[in-house]
Every structure is written in structure tokens, then in C-alpha cells.
């Protein structure tokens, strides 16, 4: 299993084309998440990651967001290994997203 790195524009396109089925998770710390996040993103951390995996739709696309797009790559690889069919890492992370939006 592997993941795909995508740009902010590709993420917006995916949001549109997935008809609301794109699952977005934000792996930044709680304070950063509370300060702003992509609409609809769930805050995932060590204590709720297994619950998320158990409840998630593995056949629907998953976008992983971090600060700058570095940590999300290893997290996206992890989620792909857990059985998600399509897993994406946002290049530039939330910082890039906030700049462009």
C-alpha cells in the first residue's frame, strides 16, 4: 500500500469530485487544530487514531494534513497500511492551505 502526495489545488479538486466522501484528518497538535483547520477535518492524535480507523470508510479517499506536509507523509503511509484504498498527503500542509485559501 502506498499514498499520493497532492497539492492544495489537487486537494480542492478531490474535495469537489468526491461528492463529500473525502475523509480529512489533521494530525497537528490540539492548539493548532483549534486555531484553524480545513473545513470538515477531524483532529486525529495518538489516543483516538484506532477509533478513527475502526469507524472510517476504508474505501473512501483519505487526506492527511499536518503543519508543512512532512509528518503527513509517514502518517499517510501508515493509514495506507491499515487498509485505506486511497490515501493522500497534502504537500505544504495546513500552512500552504491557509496561504492559498
List, for residues 22-57, the tens digit of each pLDDT value: 999 999 999 999 999 999 999 999 999 999 999 999
Q: Check residue 84 and give its pLDDT.
A: 97
Q: Are 52 and 33 in contact (CB under 8 A)?
A: no
| Degrees, nearest 5: CA angle 58-6-46 | 50
Percentage with pLDDT > 90 across the chain: 96
* Enclosing domain of residue 69: 4-100
Number of domains in the chain: 1
User: What sign does the dihedral 34-35-39-43 (CA atoms) show?
Assistant: negative
Q: Check residue 101 and give its pLDDT.
A: 82
Q: Check residue 99 and give its pLDDT.
A: 95
Q: Check residue 76 and give its pLDDT.
A: 98
8: annotated active-site residue: no
Q: Check residue 1 and give its pLDDT.
A: 65
Q: How many CA atoms lie within 13 A of 65 on its CB side?
A: 26
Find the CATH number of the domain harbouring 90: 3.40.250.10
The active-site residue out of 25, 44, 66, 75 is 66
Q: Are 65 and 97 in contact (CB under 8 A)?
A: yes
List, for residues 57-95, the tens digit of each pLDDT value: 999 999 999 999 999 999 999 999 999 999 999 999 999
| Degrees, nearest 5: CA angle 48-69-87 | 60
Amino acid at each position: 500500500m502506498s499514498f499520493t502526495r497532492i497539492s492544495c489545488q489537487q486537494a480542492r479538486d478531490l474535495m469537489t469530485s468526491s461528492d463529500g466522501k473525502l475523509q480529512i484528518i489533521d494530525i497537528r497538535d490540539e492548539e493548532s487544530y483549534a486555531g484553524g483547520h480545513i473545513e470538515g477535518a477531524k483532529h486525529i492524535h495518538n489516543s483516538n487514531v484506532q477509533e478513527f480507523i475502526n469507524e472510517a470508510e476504508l474505501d473512501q479517499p483519505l487526506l492527511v494534513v499536518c503543519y508543512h506536509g512532512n509528518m503527513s507523509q509517514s502518517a499517510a503511509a501508515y493509514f495506507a497500511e491499515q487498509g485505506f484504498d486511497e490515501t493522500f498527503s497534502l504537500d505544504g500542509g495546513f500552512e500552504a492551505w491557509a496561504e492559498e485559501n
